[in-house]
Every structure is written in structure tokens, then in C-alpha cells.
Structure 1
Amino acid sequence: MQVVALAGAMLDGYRAAVLIAAWSGPRPGEVFALHRGDLDLSAATVTVSRTLVEVPGQPIAYGPPKSAAGSRTVNLPRSILPLLSASASRTACGVRIASLGRLSMSSESSR
């Protein structure tokens, strides 16, 4: 369970993002656009309906996924639900799953 160990080593604001990214396969921009309300722990699903859009020289924005098929609801393994539940209890509804802070999604970051 290397993923669980990695998630455990992350700051609180990133644990759920690591678990969701590893077990449900969204693109990085989709993970960073998730809100607490996108998680349905009782159904063990996460709904992807937006993505982070980063255009050089412009503020970070949110938009629709790359294609119509990108808007989807994905099943999560029940084994990670207790970990997501613990993380979600520290995150208010409407708050992003992972805080971007000064992270850049592109391969070239401004220094």
C-alpha cells in the first residue's frame, strides 16, 4: 500500500487528492478542481465536472473537462473511504480537495 503511505506523508490539504488521483485516475487538473461536494462517500464515488486551466500569463481558472466524456462519476475503492472520510471531515463543503497554493500544473514553473 505505497499509495496510502504516500498519502500519509502528505500535508492534510493533499491527502485526499493523492488517494483520489491514485485510485480513480483523473487528470491532475481535474484533481485540483475537485470540491468536497464532488465526493459521495456513501456511494463511494467522485464526480469530475471541471478542470483547472492554466494559461501562461493569465490567472488560474476552472473550466469543463477536455471532452464531453471527461464529465463523469468514478467509483472509489471502499478500502480508502475511511481515509477520505477523515480528510473530508477537515474540509468544509465547497472547499477544494487540494489547495493549490503556489503549485504549478505545468512542467515549467515560474521561479
Structure 2
Amino acid sequence: MDHGGGVDLSPLGEHPTLWGLKLASRVPVAIGPLAALPVLAHLDLSDADVSDLHRVTELRGLRVLELSLAQWREVREHGLLPAGLAAAALNGFARLAEADQWATWLQGAAGQR
């Protein structure tokens, strides 16, 4: 739903068995309401304009995260790697060198947890 310049995800809180979600939006999306989804394990935000990406750390059951290169850069810069992450995907366009840097960083960050 679009509510005056943004997408309202709060109705998803009524779905306690939702385990996978792909969001695609050109208007801002706030992912805070997704923290109410107890079994959300797989999230793809790579095609969404996420206004509060820092809240990805509140998604306690998250195991798989798919983001664009710009989103992964924000995660890296702000130390936002979710604690229980088991798999990750770099979606969209990235040069080989950028993808290699991302993979190296992710391996190191995962190894420090």
C-alpha cells in the first residue's frame, strides 16, 4: 500500500507465518514493521528504496538477505550486518572488482561474529 509518499508494511504484521519477502518499490519503504514477523527468514530489498535500512538488525530470524551494491555499502559503513545471517546475495549491477570486495568484506565480517 502507498500512503502519501511511502509504502505501509504494517498490514504484514498480521501474517505470523510469512517467512520470505521480496520488496520492489520506487517510493520509500520503511522496513521497521517487518520486525513483527517472527519467522521472516529471507528478505530481498534489492529493488526497493528503503528509508530505514538500519532496522534490518531488528529482524531477529533473518537468515538470508539480498541487497543492491548501494544497500550493502550502507550496511558495511554502519555495521548493520544481521546477527543470524547465513546467506547473502548481491543483486543488481556490480563490477567484478566491486563484487569481489563485497564478498571479501562479507567473509571477514561473518568470521568476526
In the superposition, the TM-score normalised over structure 1's length comes to: 0.23
Judging by fraction of residues, say which structure has more strand. 2
